[in-house]
Structure 1
Amino acid sequence: MGAFDALRIAGSSMGMHQTWLDSLANNIANVNTVVPTSQTAFQTQTPIVRALAGGGVEVAGLALSDPAGRLVSDPGNPMADADGYVRAPEDDLATQMTQLVMAQRGFQASVQVTKDAQDNYRSALEIGRR
């Protein structure tokens, strides 16, 4: 492992976690978005992550949830069909919030690795100056 590999790997992890956090923010903002049953539901996004050969990760794409979503009975909704149903996203708020906590913790861990690596490099430079 090279001298700055820890920073590169932690940086790639922070980038991946930032993409995950951005996706979750969009998913959470649309968790209650309903559409008529004749349309497709809001599709939640989940990053597809790939390990890199030299260490680290990258976002290879975004997986989308089922466009059929789930049917919700809401007869008072102006978008409801004749049977009183609207189409909602497949995932719920609890699922998205659970993933949000995991993504935040992963991002925080990557930041800590970056700080620790910087401290180690700084200490090594101080030893070299003596």
Structure 2
Amino acid sequence: MSLLKIFDVAGSGMAAQSARLNTTASNMANADSLASSEATAYRAKQPLFSAVQQQVTAGGDSSPGGVRMLGISESQAPVESHYEPANPMADTNGYVYSSNVNPVDELVNMISASRSYQNNVEVMNSAKQLMQKTLDLGK
């Protein structure tokens, strides 16, 4: 594998972790949201990823592996209902519905995604330093 393809692989990993951080931030922002029905309550979202294998074409060229985002899935965990008849968002029975976001899980996701992003940055920096040292050998 060419050294330049390391940047493609690490870059796809960084893009994946960035998407993960964005969905986690969205979940955290909506953790305390209320809705007037179970169907309209905010549900936690998670990105879906797939590993991409390195592929060699007939001409000898190869496309690097990495990570590809398949989409975003919505949690099927139940939402909680609270009896608050004075709330303006309450349904006819006096219930409001909160999101199914677990802030502790989202915090763990955020820390994990941040560290994975940082690891990909370190891979890129190491590859850059190796290339720089290789160029310095020619001087």
| TM-score interval (norm. to shorter) | 0.7 to 0.9
- For structure 1, the 5+ residue unaligned runs are none
> So what's the TM-score if we normalise by structure 1?
0.88
- Partner residue in 1 for 2:123: 113
Taking only the aligned residue pairs, the percentage that are identical comes to: 28
Q: What is the correspondence of 1:22-33 to structure 2 with a 5 Å cutoff? A: 22-33=22-33
Amino acid corresponding to residue 2 of structure 1 in structure 2: S
How far apart are the structure 1 equivalents of 2:32 and 2:50?
31
Amino acid corresponding to residue 63 of structure 1 in structure 2: S
How far apart are the structure 1 equivalents of 2:18 and 2:47?
10
Is the CA contact 1:41–1:69 (under 8 Å) kept in the aligned structure 2? Answer: no
Q: Are 2:82 and 1:73 aligned?
A: yes
RMSD across aligned positions (CA): 1.8
- Partner residue in 2 for 1:63: 73
Q: Are 2:88 and 1:88 aligned?
A: no
Is the CA contact 1:71–1:85 (under 8 Å) kept in the aligned structure 2? Answer: no
Give SS of 1:47's match. strand
Give SS of 1:58's match. strand
The superposition leaves residues 12-33 of structure 1 with CA deviations (integer Å, 9 ceiling, x where unpaired) of: 1001001111111111111111
Compared with structure 1, are the counterparts of its residues 22 and 38 closer, same or farther at alpha carbon in structure 2 (3 Å cutoff)? closer
The superposition leaves residues 45-78 of structure 1 with CA deviations (integer Å, 9 ceiling, x where unpaired) of: 2111011121211111111123x74123241432
- Partner residue in 1 for 2:132: 122
Amino acid corresponding to residue 43 of structure 1 in structure 2: R
93-102 or 31-40, which moves further after superposition?
31-40
- For structure 2, the 5+ residue unaligned runs are 55-64
Is the CA contact 2:48–2:69 (under 8 Å) kept in the aligned structure 1? Answer: yes
Is the CA contact 1:48–1:63 (under 8 Å) kept in the aligned structure 2? Answer: yes
